[in-house]
Amino acid sequence: MAVGARLSLAALALVLSAPVWAAKKVDLDYHVRFLPQSDQAEVRLTLADGAAVRSLDFDLGRSGDYSDFQADGQWQGTAPQAGAEQRGVWRPASGKASLSYRVRISHSPKKGSFDSRMTAKWALLRGESLVPAAKLDQQDGIELVSRLEFELPSGWKSVETAWPRIGKNRFRIDNPSRLFDRPSGWMLAGNLGSRRTRLGETEVTVTSPLSQGMRRMDVLTLLTFVWPQVQALFPRHPDKLLIVGAADPMWRGSLAGRDSIYLHSHLPLISESGNSPLLRELVQVIARINDSERSDWISEGLAEYYSIELLRRAGGISDERYQTLERGLAKRSHAVSSLRGEQVNEATVAKAVLLLQELDREIRLKTRNKRSLDDVLGALMRLESVSTKEFVQISESVLGESSTVLDTDLLH
């Protein structure tokens, strides 16, 4: 036998004799039943094999939204106390095991304004509220396969989430960055009006309850207009993007979730100042930049900067209008002396945008237009989180030298 043949047979034997380490897959099914008459949802978690999980330690928050827990196995919850942090630990029984409870849907942090709401005809909420965050302690070699199913009240027609649909009201929940897959992102159920399109690799859905004044075609048109610039800027794009909206008394604002955006139906798609709440949240959804060490200005500033920049690159803002916009940013932020803080306001974001504009010009000038702030953004998207110090280091790495723009008291 030739030497090459013997080596090939030996290699094949080694492959066939090697152990195959494959995780054991265990189904975790979420069942959600909306109860409009009590402003609640009944949630049930079902493990196909309860022995696969030692415990789930839930953070139930301070609001008292979760109640009526029933479990196969052991449930241990802290006694409800006003304003106190509450936790609950589920230790599933072996075999098929379920945990069920009720959660209040409507939430009004400011009187007369809701950030999640249920009516007799629809419910708009974030998936994170259905299943609270939890610490998962599972057996080695286990992979949970999670699915989400909704049971809708009589007369409710449909439900939309940002997760892949695997049935009429069923979705696959798969987040590779988390061990415990749970529903997340914006969700809307009820009597809905929806418009859909495909932009590049992304399936886009714009939906709202009927008679809420949501300009669904306007939203799709703006996204179609800027999408070539989105594709050129970002190295990754979501497979699915859901945009939900409703009118008063929902909160008059916009907010990004996982592969999803909430947009009040009466909010302008492009404001008089030239920025776009829709595009700002789109940048947040795709970039997924997490700040650390009192550096919220980074994600908020980049989102606002690129909401303007995407529109400009698409031809939606003239040079004259852009200069007017810059003067407005300078006027709003003239009193800002520092960008650092746990939370940022409108003036701080305006100052951050001006700083980023200067940084982009500095990078383009010193690299002879070979690099730009886009390269900084691409590097930030590969990090789990970023601090101001790391932002400066990455920017100077792109620049190839120290940055004059970033040597400022604003970052101290």
The pLDDT value given to residue 388 = 97
Q: Which phi and psi (to 5°) does residue 329 adopt?
A: -60, -45
The pLDDT value given to residue 19 = 47
Closest among 156, 200, 218 to 32, alpha carbons compared: 156
* CA–CA separation, 41 and 1 (whole Å): 70
When computed from its CA atoms, the radius of gyration of the chain, rounded to whole angstroms, is: 25
- Mean pLDDT across 300-326: 95
- Mean pLDDT across 93-106: 97
H-only helix segments in 237-345: 277-287, 296-313, 319-332
CB 205 within 8 A of CB 159: no
- Mean pLDDT across 318-326: 92
Query: Which residues are CB-neighbours of 138 under 8 A, at least 6 positions away?
Result: 52, 53, 54, 144, 179
Q: pLDDT tens-digit profile of 347-357?
A: 999 999 999 99
What's the Cα-to-Cα distance from 51 to each of 19, 58, 138, 149, rounded to whole Å? Answer: 24, 18, 9, 23
Percent of the chain clearing pLDDT 70 (strictly above): 93
Residue 399, token pair as written in the block: 């620049």
Count of Cβ atoms closer than 10 Å to residue 190 Cβ: 25
For each of the domains in the chain, give its residue range(s) and CATH number, in order of start: 24-177 (2.60.40.3650), 191-279 (3.30.2010), 289-411 (1.10.390.10)
- Mean pLDDT across 184-190: 98
* CA–CA separation, 199 and 10 (whole Å): 50
The string of DSSP letters for 109-153 reads SBTTBBSBEE-SSEEEEEGGGTS--EEEEE-TTEEEEEEEEEEPP
* CA–CA separation, 243 and 278 (whole Å): 9
- Mean pLDDT across 238-252: 97
With a cut of 80, say whether residue 66 has pLDDT above it. yes
| Calculated CA dihedral for residues 387, 390, 395, 401, nearest 10 degrees | 140
Length of the chain counted residue by residue: 412
Helix (H) or strand (E) holding 24: strand 24-35
- Mean pLDDT across 197-203: 97
- Mean pLDDT across 224-246: 96
The pLDDT value given to residue 78 = 81
Q: With bands split at pLDDT 50, 70 and 90, how would you rate the model's confidence at 192?
A: very high
With a cut of 50, say whether residue 70 has pLDDT above it. yes
The pLDDT value given to residue 336 = 95
With a cut of 50, say whether residue 74 has pLDDT above it. yes
